[in-house]
């Protein structure tokens, strides 16, 4: 039965992709992977210990930097909808209009990068980005978080139950609509293992990023693929206290390395929350990234987060990145690709610089009325001479 379903799904892609306006390219142009909660405070010691080979390779061959989440929503720094909305639009929350995880996509009052690309005749794959429900069929292939939660519940014993509005209206979960019914096809899961809902949804997201990338790279590749993974954030909130004793204290690198050395793979079955450590989710994301980059040869890869994490002592959750812990307000940025400097550091990046830089990487004009700018210091001089930044009055 699974073989028939996979075959039918593959033929559906062959029929549907031309109708989505997918642009012809020898290889997909840009991959953007969001790692919620990722911080250099964890990445650097893990890389130094020989872990995170995929991320380490991107850092060595590209540029790295960090930026503060605060300008996106000063009253509530690092809250996901405002800051991830800023990454997608280049505007602060009071302009792009998103301040709740349950706001529908049509509440966004500034165009996201995938909408801008669609207006210029391109197409995208957007998986698990915040506030992308209901999916926008005009932008290409979209799998919003509710679709992933629904699919994860079918094959994992997940908790907590999602309360997202419209979750039961399954035919409107994805674009194209039939994709919602194939999200678990080919995903090897044995016996509904108990798994936290966000991590189970990440597994479904990673599986579909690989299979969509494999299909589309053999056909007409979308210029842009964007994916968000939430597992690092979930693990850090729950168990950050295992690697940092107090706010401002150094990371316990010995414990972090021990967590990484003990990791054997994704959490399933009886391992349960014992394996829900900060290191485990960085390693899982890195393994996925390596597999994806082996499957699909993207021209340019961007890895980012909107904020990090820090120790708090009140409440059950020992990790937070809210107003009371400014040391957690810094996200990461990694860029690797043709024309991008190797081994360089970005010293003065802003959260508002991400969307204009993505637009430039997609050969789109950059709006003059954006608060940020293209990170030209990330590019070789000859690249900017060959392909200078183009501007337009507004998006």
pLDDT of residue 164: 59
Per-residue pLDDT for 202 more than 50?
yes
pLDDT of residue 215: 86
Q: Taking Cα atoms as reference points, which of 152, 125, 291, 135 lies closest to residue 210?
A: 291
Please give the Cα distance from 350 to 356 (Å, whole number).
11
pLDDT of residue 172: 73
Please give the Cα distance from 251 to 319 (Å, whole number).
13
Domains and CATH numbers, the chain: 2-392 (3.40.720.10)
300 Rama class: left (phi>0) / alpha (psi -120 to 50) / beta: beta
Cis peptide before 360 (omega within 30 of 0): no
Per-residue pLDDT for 217 more than 90?
no
For residue 233, what are its two tokens? 């954030």
* Mean pLDDT calculated for residue range 104-115: 96
Dihedral angle at the C-alpha atoms of 48, 308, 255, 156, nearest 10 degrees?
-110
What's the half-sphere exposure (Cβ side, CA atoms, 13 Å) at 135?
30
- For residue 16, the SS3 value is helix
Across 228-237, 274-283, 314-323, the highest mean pLDDT is recorded for: 228-237
Per-residue pLDDT for 198 more than 50?
yes
Per-residue pLDDT for 180 more than 70?
yes
Mean pLDDT of all residues belonging to the chain: 89
Longest Cα–Cα distance in the chain: 56
For residue 377, what are its two tokens? 């210091």
pLDDT of residue 275: 63
pLDDT of residue 166: 55
pLDDT of residue 158: 87
Long-range contacts of 95-100 (CB under 8 A, 24+ apart): 98/130, 98/131, 99/73
Q: With bands split at pLDDT 50, 70 and 90, how would you rate the model's confidence at 191?
A: confident
- Considering only CA atoms, give the Rg of the chain: 20
- Better-scored residue on pLDDT, 133 or 170: 133
pLDDT of residue 169: 60
pLDDT of residue 305: 98
What's the half-sphere exposure (Cβ side, CA atoms, 13 Å) at 62?
19
Do residues 61 and 336 touch, judged by C-beta distance below 8 A? Answer: yes
Could you write out the DSSP letters of every residue in 124-188? EEEES-TT--S--GGGEEEE-HHHHHHHHHHHSEEESPP--TTTT-GGGSSBSGGGGGGTTTT--
Strands (E), 2-139: 30-35, 63-68, 124-127
Q: Express as a percent the part of the chain with pLDDT over 70.
A: 87
pLDDT of residue 168: 59
Per-residue pLDDT for 251 more than 80?
yes
For residue 384, what are its two tokens? 């900017």
Q: Taking Cα atoms as reference points, which of 235, 248, 232, 230 lies closest to residue 313?
A: 248
pLDDT in tens, 337-349: 999 999 999 999 9
pLDDT of residue 381: 97
- For residue 267, the SS3 value is coil
Please give the Cα distance from 246 to 320 (Å, whole number).
12
Please give the Cα distance from 268 to 132 (Å, whole number).
28
Do residues 308 and 69 touch, judged by C-beta distance below 8 A? Answer: no
Please give the Cα distance from 68 to 305 (Å, whole number).
10
pLDDT in tens, 342-391: 999 999 999 999 999 999 999 999 999 999 999 999 999 999 999 999 99
- The strand pair at 140-143 and 157-159 is best described as unpaired
Do residues 248 and 52 touch, judged by C-beta distance below 8 A? Answer: no
- For residue 294, the SS3 value is helix
């Amino acid at each position: 039965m699974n073989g028939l379903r996979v075959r039918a799904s593959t033929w559906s892609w062959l029929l549907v992709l031309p109708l989505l306006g997918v642009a012809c390219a020898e290889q997909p142009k840009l991959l953007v992977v969001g790692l919620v909660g990722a911080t250099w405070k964890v990445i650097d010691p893990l890389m130094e210990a020989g872990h995170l080979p995929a991320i380490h390779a991107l850092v060595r061959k590209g540029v790295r930097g960090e930026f503060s989440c605060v300008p996106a929503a000063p009253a509530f720094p690092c809250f996901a909808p405002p800051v991830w909305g800023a990454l997608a639009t280049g505007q602060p929350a009071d302009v792009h209009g998103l301040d709740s995880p349950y706001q529908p996509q049509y509440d966004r009052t500034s165009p996201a990068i995938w909408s801008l690309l669609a207006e210029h005749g391109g197409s995208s794959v957007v998986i698990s980005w915040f506030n992308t429900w209901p999916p926008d069929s005009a932008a290409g292939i979209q799998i919003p978080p509710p679709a992933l939660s629904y699919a994860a519940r079918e094959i994992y014993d997940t908790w907590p139950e999602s309360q997202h509005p419209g979750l039961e209206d399954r035919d409107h979960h994805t674009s194209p609509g039939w994709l919602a019914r194939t999200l678990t096809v080919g995903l090897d899961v044995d016996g509904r293992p108990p798994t936290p809902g966000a991590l189970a949804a990440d597994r479904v997201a990673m599986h579909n990023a690989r299979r969509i990338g494999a299909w589309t790279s053999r056909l007409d590749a979308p210029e842009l693929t964007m994916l968000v993974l939430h597992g690092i954030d979930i693990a850090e909130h729950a168990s950050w206290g295992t690697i940092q004793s107090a706010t401002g204290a150094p990371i316990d690198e010995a414990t972090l390395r021990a967590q990484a050395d003990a990791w054997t793979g994704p959490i399933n079955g009886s391992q349960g929350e014992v394996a829900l450590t900060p290191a485990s989710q960085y390693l899982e994301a890195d393994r996925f990234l390596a597999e994806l980059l082996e499957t699909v040869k993207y021209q340019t890869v961007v890895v980012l987060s909107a904020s990090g994490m820090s120790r708090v002592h009140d409440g059950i959750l020992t990790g937070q990145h809210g107003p009371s812990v400014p040391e957690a307000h810094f996200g990461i940025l990694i860029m690797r690709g043709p024309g991008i400097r190797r081994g360089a550091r970005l010293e003065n990046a802003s959260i508002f610089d991400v969307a204009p830089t993505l637009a430039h990487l997609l050969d789109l004009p950059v709006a003059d009325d954006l608060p940020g700018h293209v990170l030209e210091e990330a590019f070789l001089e000859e690249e900017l001479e060959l392909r200078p930044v183009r501007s337009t009055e507004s998006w």
